[in-house]
Structure 1
Amino acid sequence: MAANHLQTADNLFHVPTPLLHSTSLSRQVGCNIWLKCENLQPSGSVKIRGMGLAVLRAVNNAMPAQLVTASTGNAAVALAYVSRQLNRPANVFVPQNTPAHIVTSAKNEGATVTVDGSDLEEAVHLAQTYAQQHPGCHFIHPFDDADVQQGYATLISEIKLQLGHQPPEGILLGVGGGGLLAGVLQGLDAHQWNQVPAIAVETHGSNAFQSSRVSGQVQTLDACKTLASGLRSKRVTLAAINQSTSHPVIPFSVSDPMAANACQLFAACGAVLSLIYSGVIRDVIPNLEPSSNIVVILAGGLDITVEQLNEFRCKYSNPPIIVKSGSEIYMRLASDADASKSGK
């Protein structure tokens, strides 16, 4: 692929993905549920939008000798894919608890994979150090990068066209490091969808965004304990915090069993989909009508295996509903029809 083709191509690597109406989920919730299928991207996840734009600009500025990033999964595979398209070497750093099939996927795209560090933060530090010590290397942060975040804003351009320019009542997405959230908020504001709330979903063991929102500044968790490997980040980008002060964002965290149970029904984005399957979305947005539209961003699914699904089925079927948002906790047994809400 010739470098001179990069000048005007802002979607050289990602493809427009379908926005599919789910009849079953819509009937269950009582409004229109739309699934933005980013799991159909060439690299298997939404990360190709961010990494694609970041690499595009890096290559246009000065052809790097090697592209470097760190990730717990999807971003590593996305950078490896983009690098292969450009015939550029890539080195991705992943922590030691990264699933083996993610390492294999990145290697299959031609990347060198360095497995080191106990978590994402250590892997990022190692990747940054490597890039600094090797002239010509260009490091791209997996979420704390303006180009990466801007790449995600392209989601809103597509969703607006696919919904016939009608703003939805909400957009659900998962939050790990917050790059996707920052980009979605940029896109919403750029398209004058300033009042469309983003429902930012984490797990209880990785709720860095919600903790930061409560304190008003970036908080780094002491540890990040969650089954959701795509959400494992001890902190979120400041851009997501800053933008959430001027745009409506509703932070929610769900339990790991809720996320794992949801993955049995759709093998991706369990934390996000658990708000739909459990019906909690009606507590989040209480005035939903049959004509209302909710968009769910299915960010990926590379990090789920058949073995994990079998384990989830054995351990986490029909868990109690425990959801936190700020100072409120929503709780109910899986068999209960009505949710109870209590103060923290």
Structure 2
Amino acid sequence: MPLHIQTPLIESDPLSQAAGRRVRLKLDALQPPGSFKIRGIGLACETHARNGKRRFISSSGGNAGIAVAYAGRRLGVPVVVVVPESTTERARGLIRRQGAELIVHGAAWHEANALAQSMLGDEDAFVHPFDDPMLWQGHATLIDEAAEAGPKPGAVVLSVGGGGLLCGVMEGLHRNGWSDVPVITAETHGADAFARSIAAGERIALDAITSIATSLGAKQVCEQALNWAARHPVRPVVIDDLAAVRACERFLDDHRILVEPACGASLALAYDQAEALQGFDDVLVVVCGGTTAGVDALRQWRDDLALMQGAA
């Protein structure tokens, strides 16, 4: 049995009414560790364990580390997760709760990642948070389930951080005969490496992550994400942090599921009738989840961001 579960695919009345079109939700926020990450990370960890690796080492902004820690506990393999200082206390606690060793290092993920890779020994497996073909293969099961459960959507909406989910969804679309389904990507300002790379025609690195959506906080997307964008229809959209937070709050009211701003970025496209959705009567939104922010944090962000916008 895989470490992930098959998640519901539902039609959302509140989001459909808000968006003015049919909106279906793939509810990967209901995965045991709280996000889609366990699909690919679970597959990678199972493979490494079968190959005799004795310890998993990972770097993460939060959700990937939680997934690796969960997989290690389930498989009986020790785990070390290195996170940057920007990782929330909530995320750090959830990683420790799974029994993993937590190390905090660096101001941003790339610094934590460098330390994690320097720790590798012969019996260790490095579990990358987004840039690994095994992860993409595992994440593609999300589309396998959607293809089995319902009709082909007009478009798929998903959030992009490092690009792991994007690569997995692209792989899933193509292996299920849905290669003509456009993908609409959502990012927040200050964590929009993918949109900027598409605009530049090459993979670029952000100088810094300034968005509160720290789960989108890879300064550069994986190369495979740009490769997919060159041969599959993609529409990048960038929104502000406040829209993402407000979408999280509305989603909690509408569906009683708490997600973090990285996921709220995708939901905001439907709630706010984003122009990128025009021309599609049926959209599938990947509710990728995320457990690194609680209700109190969302409210504080909303108040602070609204105050900042008012002052501007």
* Preserved contact between residue 258 and residue 319 of structure 1 (Cα < 8 Å): no
Q: Secondary structure at the match of 1:241?
A: helix
Counterpart of 1:83 (choices 72, 83, 89) is 72
The letter of the residue matching 2:164 is: G
* Preserved contact between residue 19 and residue 272 of structure 2 (Cα < 8 Å): no
Task: Give 5+ residue unaligned stretches, structure 2.
Answer: 252-257
Q: Is 1:216 equivalent to 2:201 in the alignment?
A: yes
Counterpart of 1:227 (choices 192, 212, 237) is 212
* Preserved contact between residue 74 and residue 300 of structure 1 (Cα < 8 Å): no
Identity of aligned residues (%): 38
Aligned residue for 1:3?
none
* Preserved contact between residue 69 and residue 140 of structure 1 (Cα < 8 Å): yes
Greater C-alpha radius of gyration: 1
Q: Is 1:244 equivalent to 2:233 in the alignment?
A: no
When residues 25 and 76 of structure 1 are mapped into structure 2, their CA distance, relative to the original with a 3 A threshold, is: same
Deviation at 1:103, TM superposition (A): 0.9
Any residues of structure 2 matched to 1:92-171 within 5 Å, and which? 92-131=81-120, 134-163=121-150, 166-171=151-156
Deviations 1:150-183 (A, max 9, x none): 11100110011111xx210111111000011011
Deviation at 1:219, TM superposition (A): 0.9
Q: Is 1:279 equivalent to 2:266 in the alignment?
A: no
The letter of the residue matching 2:132 is: D
Alpha-carbon distance between aligned partners in 1 of 2:308 and 2:106, rounded to the nearest angstrom: 32
The letter of the residue matching 1:303 is: T
Aligned residue for 2:34?
44
TM-score normalized with structure 1 length? 0.84
Two-structure CA RMSD over aligned residues (Å) = 1.6
The letter of the residue matching 1:259 is: A
Q: Secondary structure at the match of 2:250?
A: coil
* Preserved contact between residue 70 and residue 127 of structure 1 (Cα < 8 Å): yes
Deviation at 1:214, TM superposition (A): 2.1
Task: Give 5+ residue unaligned stretches, structure 1.
Answer: 1-8, 321-344
Alpha-carbon distance between aligned partners in 2 of 1:52 and 1:301, rounded to the nearest angstrom: 16
Alpha-carbon distance between aligned partners in 2 of 1:205 and 1:186, rounded to the nearest angstrom: 27
Specify which structure has the bigger relative contact order, considering alpha-carbon pairs within 8 angstroms and separated by 6 or more residues.
2
Aligned residue for 1:323?
none
Alpha-carbon distance between aligned partners in 2 of 1:191 and 1:128, rounded to the nearest angstrom: 35
Any residues of structure 2 matched to 1:230-309 within 5 Å, and which? 230-266=215-251, 267-268=258-259, 269-280=263-274, 283-288=275-280, 292-309=281-298
Alpha-carbon distance between aligned partners in 2 of 1:227 and 1:306, rounded to the nearest angstrom: 14
Aligned residue for 1:181?
166
Deviation at 1:308, TM superposition (A): 1.1
The letter of the residue matching 1:286 is: Q
Alpha-carbon distance between aligned partners in 2 of 1:311 and 1:160, rounded to the nearest angstrom: 39
Aligned residue for 2:12?
22
Aligned residue for 1:13?
3
Alpha-carbon distance between aligned partners in 1 of 2:302 and 2:72, rounded to the nearest angstrom: 37
Deviations 1:112-156 (A, max 9, x none): 11111111000111100011xx33111111111110111110011
Alpha-carbon distance between aligned partners in 2 of 1:278 and 1:316, rounded to the nearest angstrom: 17
Q: Secondary structure at the match of 1:265?
A: helix
Alpha-carbon distance between aligned partners in 1 of 2:202 and 2:106, rounded to the nearest angstrom: 26
Number of equivalences = 300
* Preserved contact between residue 170 and residue 199 of structure 1 (Cα < 8 Å): yes
Alpha-carbon distance between aligned partners in 1 of 2:80 and 2:34, rounded to the nearest angstrom: 19
The letter of the residue matching 2:147 is: K
TM-score normalized with structure 2 length? 0.92
The letter of the residue matching 2:279 is: N
Spell out structure 1 runs of 4+ moving beyond 6 A.
none
When residues 265 and 316 of structure 1 are mapped into structure 2, their CA distance, relative to the original with a 3 A threshold, is: farther
